[in-house]
Amino acid sequence: MKHSVKLSLSVMALAAGAAAQAQSAGSLMARVGVMRISPSVTSDDLTPPSFPGTKVDMDSATPLTGGVTYMVSDHFAIDIPVALPSRYNITGAGAIAGVGRLADAKVMPISVLAQYRFGEANAKFRPYVGAGLTYAKFFKERSANTLTALSGGTPANPTTFSIESKLVPTLQLGATMALNDRWFVDAMVARTWLKTHARLSTGQTLGVRLDPTSVALTVGYRY
């Protein structure tokens, strides 16, 4: 009976020790899930020749997401969230609101953030704040016939365009809930301040502030 009690106490002590290391210095955590990225668009006017007040808007997207977090100490961490490339529809706004889709483009955001995690390393629930930089990579831009017609292109020489990729600041707020000593659920919201420019093959340009808000829900594993 004494041996059974000692064994039980030893198992409990080991379990408590494992839990205590859940988010301690040296821990590496990986996660996967989904993210909703919602741009808050403020568009400049397309430069002439174009209709006065020609602006654009951009739809939201829900890409698969993931990331890794390395605990530098029990409270400070480096977080690298990454979302898979998603295609965003670009639609008419302002004087051309209602014309529908003008173009679309793929975007892949990659961030590097410094985090501060509240609570103790063995806490089941740990809120955190983060700040850092996001590189928004725009690629595979595709224009629609509507953009060609509005920008002065022709069917024989359709309008093409490119969007400038940018390195911009991001703030993050989130929390991690431990399911056991290895698995966890993470919820996060982030705001990125992003202003970029589109350049059309017709020589016209368009400045647009996107300032997306990202909300992610992921499941992760601590190594």
Contact status, residue 130 vs residue 114, Cβ threshold 8 Å:
yes
What lies within 8 Å, CB to CB, of 72 at 6+ separation is 25, 78
Q: For residue 133, with 0-12 CB atoms within 10 Å meaning exposed, 13-18 middle and 19 or more buried, which class applies? A: middle
Is the per-residue pLDDT at 17 higher than 60? no
What was the pLDDT predicted at 155? 82
Inter-residue contact 123 to 89 (CB < 8 Å): no
Least confident stretch, 79-83, 94-98, 216-220: 94-98
Q: How many domains does the chain have?
A: 1
Which two structure tokens, joined as six digits, stand for 155?
Answer: 């069917």
Strand partners for 188: 174, 216
| pLDDT tens per residue across span 31-66 | 999 999 999 999 999 888 877 888 999 999 999 999
Residue 197 pLDDT: 95
CA distances 123 to 38, 74, 126, 181, 218, Å, are 32, 11, 6, 10, 19
- Residue 93 is predicted with a pLDDT of 92
Phi-psi region of 149 (alpha: psi -120 to 50; beta: other; left: phi over 0): alpha
Rounded CA-CA distance 90/69 in Å is: 33
Residue with token string 């992003």: 194
User: Is the per-residue pLDDT at 79 higher than 90?
Assistant: yes
Are residues 136 and 196 in contact, defined by beta-carbon separation less than 8 angstroms? yes
Q: Residue 111 pLDDT > 50, yes or no? A: yes
What confidence tier does 13 reach under pLDDT thresholds 50, 70, 90?
A: very low
Q: Note the pLDDT of residue 44.
A: 92
Range of the domain at 66: 2-222
Q: For position 73, which CATH number holds?
A: 2.40.160.20
pLDDT-based confidence at residue 21 (cuts at 50, 70, 90): low
pLDDT of residue 102: 93
